[in-house]
Chains A and B, each alone.
Chain A
Amino acid sequence: MIPLHLYLLVSAGLFCMGIYGVLARRNAVAILMGIELMLNAVNINLVAFWRYISPESLNGQVFAIFVFAVAAAEAAVGLALIISIYRNRETVIAEDVNILKW
């Protein structure tokens, strides 16, 4: 059997890579990919805990299902936004979208 902490470490690692991607990438789509990584890491975490701690309850899986739903919605809207920005500003670089500043 695989000890729990290994799953959690994988999840943590994925999460941190996602953070790096969100914070450090220039392209907006790349940032969104980083976000997807983070969401997946969370899902792994949820399911791992569900399996190892209380498999008879449904909460873990249901929570994961909802994360899926939200992730999908968010990805859709986010990408739509990116396309809209690309159309208006001719750029997909996050740094260049900085009008709301001092």
Chain B
Amino acid sequence: MTLETLVWLIPLPPLLAFFVILLFTRGNKRISDLVSVASILLTWVISIIVLIGALGTFHLGENPIITQIVWLPLGESVETSLTMGALVDPLGAVMLFFVPLTATMIFIYSTGYMASGHYWTEVKGEAHGEDHESDEHHEVVVDDAGRKLTQFDATKWKARFMAFISLFAGAMLILSIADSLLLLFVGWEIMGLCSYLLIGFWHNRVYPNQPNRTTPLKAGIKAFMTTRVGDVFMLLGIAWLYSVTGTLNFRETLYSGEMLLALEAPAFPTLGQSVPLLAGLSIAGSISILLFIGTVGKSAQFPLHTWLPDAMEGPTPVSAMIHAATMVSAGVYLLIRMFPLITVGWHGHGYPPAMKVIAGVGAFTALFAATISIAQRDVKKVLAYSTISQLGYMVAAVGIGAYIAAAFHLMTHAIFKALLFMGSGSVIHAVEHGEQHAHHEGHHFPIDFDAQDMFNMGGLWSRIPVTAWTFLVGGMALSGFPLITAGFWSKDEILADAWLHAPVVFFVLAAAAFLTGFYTMRQIGLTFAGKPRTHAAEEATQRDWRMNLPLIVLAVFGVVAGYVGVHEDFPLLGRLFGGNPFHHFVSQTLLESPEVALFDWTPVLLSVIVAVGGLLVGWLVYVRRPLEVGEADPLKKVLGPLYTLFENKYYFDELYEVAFIRPSQWLARQIYEVIDRGMIDGLLHFIARSTEWWAFRNKDFDTGVVNRGVDSMAEGIGEASDSFKYVQSGRIQQYLAVVAAGVLMLAAVFIWALFLH
């Protein structure tokens, strides 16, 4: 069993688990849990084996693990056929490190998370809810809008959930080991589908008395549609690349000097003369921008960021999966993978237009999302915008040419973001359990009680300590707390590169880092510090080992994983941790190893100040004097109208609704009513009616003409026969006369024949 064969097997177990669960387990929750967790564990083991093999390979960058099969023969030689294969080079090995790790943790967490929970759903028909299996009869309440609602068991479809996230993991792994853009796109699209299925998993959930709140159903559609927009442009980019180079294989396009040189040619030679903006754009640059738009969609960069916060409607493991381990990482991975294409035309000084666009979008998004995050109430929404912001960091890193820093931050972010999301899920579960306990003890909650609202929490530090400590570790990593968290090392490297090559980007990212620290501490403070602000928080508990274990594991990695990327010139620690092995390993992926920037204290200190500063301010506001019951967010007083702007996400959702969604719906309705119902159906109805008319005329013809004709003919024959009967008169002499006449005629004929001829 060679490494090549093992690589093929990596995505297989979760994909098989998907089919097995859907086809054979008949919804049995225990078996589905076992099948899916077993599959991802198997994948993790295989990935570790391959990873060890890859790490041990000398010069993996020049001799990556490659395996290929011919997929669609188009012509005699292998070159002209479409192939499908796997590629594990250093970048791929990095993916194989953190993707199965986080996925396994999330799977285990899911088996615990999805084992309890209720939500409101609308009652249709009789007063009994959808629970035909259980004997519980939930009460039916009526909300302000007059809808009848009842509690729905959130664990009912657990088996389907495990199947879907298995498919999701399988798709991400396909993408990670893909050796061509085509196969990558396959994994990409499957993930798009899974995002729809999983975000909208609780599709019958409604929120009482909150008419403007997005329901899971709407959120699923929104996610799919928005990423779709990005995917269309990405496909254009892929097609363009294929038409220019004739292949989509990574090693053939990105590692061939002549190929890259050819792609440096201007993309719009004639158009560029009239439109100066397009003049400087090379083919590679144009393709890069198109592919980047795919990343903008999938990794929720501005302006296609609107789907990600609403994607929080999905169950928390989904949020962890999508927004940490897999989907958004796929967008950044694409960008990092296509780095040689993006950097065509960059010769160390002066960025080509494509890179400027990428860096600009990334940096802007980082700051933009961070500002929104500081004004959110929902614990998951804070993390959602945080994810958008961090992805902006990675995108910006690629844009300024910090290839390895981007890959490093991708890895560490996946780990601590997954940790943070799962932690928030634990918190939400704890509060929900607390709500139930408090309910039994007689406290009443309004029907729109939001267990995810941080202002309903507080004082959870002592009640759910495991969650609290791991959340703290994750938060610190996110903020970049110096020296002991992985996030520090990865973020620091990006900032160092920015300081060196693009100071503008540095300052934007630094500002974002300050805000990151602030909102992290705000979140921790509101959630865990102080005293409980509601009875639900008072009674909150969380004891499931399936949820606590992954938190602990990821927390450990969150501290330790960063040390592989310590700059080799960093005092003491640089030498201690092997002189930046990550850098040396990953840098082999490119044709030319990027230079190792000299160690500079200035960006390091600045980033420390910024990060710690943000944490400190947050601590001062929210932890030193924690919020009391009913107290408003102090930030409101400080920012005033800005707070409302941030809280409402700069009203972008509303803008898109008016600018894009309503016109599309109008158009769809027109087509449906006017063309489909009116014209096409009208035509069909007309055809049907005329056929019917024709049929009736036929029937009339049949009865009137044919039947009557036949009947009268029969009657006539009858009458004729009737009149013939009189021939038989009974008089024998008449008969004899007839006979005689006949004989005479015969005789005449004979005579004429015999005697006259």
Instruction: Report A-B touching, CB under 8 Å.
Output: yes
A23 within 8 A of B: yes
Cβ of A28 to closest chain B Cβ, rounded Å: 10
Interface contact A95-B731, CB-CB below 8 Å = yes
Interface contact B740-A95, CB-CB below 8 Å = no
Which of chain B's residues 434-460 have a Cβ closer than 8 Å to chain A?
Answer: none
Interface contact A98-B729, CB-CB below 8 Å = yes
Interface contact A23-B737, CB-CB below 8 Å = yes
A-B contact pairs, 13 of them (CB 8 A): A19-B740, A22-B733, A22-B736, A23-B733, A23-B737, A23-B740, A24-B733, A94-B731, A94-B733, A98-B731, A100-B728, A100-B730, A102-B725
B726 within 8 A of A: yes
B residues near A102, Cβ cutoff 8 Å? 725-726, 728-730
* CA–CA, A101 and B732, complex, Å: 10
B residues near A95, Cβ cutoff 8 Å? 731, 733
Instruction: Give the size range of B's interface with the partner.
Output: 10 to 19
Q: Give chain B's interface residues, CB within 8 Å of chain A.
A: 725-726, 728-733, 736-737, 740
User: Residues of A within 8 Å of B, CB-based: how many?
Assistant: 13
Q: Give chain A's interface residues, CB within 8 Å of chain B.
A: 19, 22-24, 31, 94-95, 97-102
Interface contact B728-A23, CB-CB below 8 Å = no
Cβ of A100 to closest chain B Cβ, rounded Å: 5
Interface contact B730-A99, CB-CB below 8 Å = yes
Cβ of A33 to closest chain B Cβ, rounded Å: 14
* CA–CA, A47 and B486, complex, Å: 150
Interface contact A98-B737, CB-CB below 8 Å = no
* CA–CA, A87 and B187, complex, Å: 119
Cβ of A29 to closest chain B Cβ, rounded Å: 14
B residues near A19, Cβ cutoff 8 Å? 740
Interface contact B733-A101, CB-CB below 8 Å = no
Cβ of B515 to closest chain A Cβ, rounded Å: 121
* CA–CA, A100 and B659, complex, Å: 104
A residues near B736, Cβ cutoff 8 Å? 22-23
Cβ of A59 to closest chain B Cβ, rounded Å: 22
Cβ of B735 to closest chain A Cβ, rounded Å: 10
Across the interface, name the chain A residue whose C-beta is closest to B743.
A19
* CA–CA, A23 and B733, complex, Å: 5
A residues near B731, Cβ cutoff 8 Å? 94-95, 98, 101
Q: Name the residue among B725, B732, B737 with the largest chain A CB count within 10 angstroms.
A: B732
Interface contact A101-B728, CB-CB below 8 Å = yes
* CA–CA, A31 and B736, complex, Å: 12
* CA–CA, A95 and B733, complex, Å: 8
Cβ of B719 to closest chain A Cβ, rounded Å: 15
* CA–CA, A100 and B737, complex, Å: 17
Interface contact A101-B730, CB-CB below 8 Å = yes
* CA–CA, A36 and B733, complex, Å: 16
A residues near B726, Cβ cutoff 8 Å? 102
* CA–CA, A101 and B730, complex, Å: 4
* CA–CA, A44 and B272, complex, Å: 134
Cβ of A27 to closest chain B Cβ, rounded Å: 11
Interface contact B733-A31, CB-CB below 8 Å = yes
Q: Which of B725, B730, B740 contacts A98 (CB 8 A)?
A: B730
* CA–CA, A98 and B735, complex, Å: 12
Across the interface, name the chain B residue whose C-beta is closest to A96.
B731
* CA–CA, A99 and B730, complex, Å: 6
* CA–CA, A97 and B730, complex, Å: 7
A residues near B740, Cβ cutoff 8 Å? 19, 23
Interface contact B728-A94, CB-CB below 8 Å = no
Known contacts A22-B736, A98-B729, A102-B729; can you find 20 more A-B pairs with CB under 8 A? Answer: A19-B740, A22-B733, A23-B733, A23-B736, A23-B737, A31-B733, A94-B731, A95-B731, A95-B733, A97-B730, A97-B732, A98-B731, A99-B730, A100-B728, A101-B730, A101-B731, A102-B725, A102-B726, A102-B728, A102-B730
* CA–CA, A17 and B677, complex, Å: 96
* CA–CA, A24 and B736, complex, Å: 10
* CA–CA, A95 and B737, complex, Å: 13
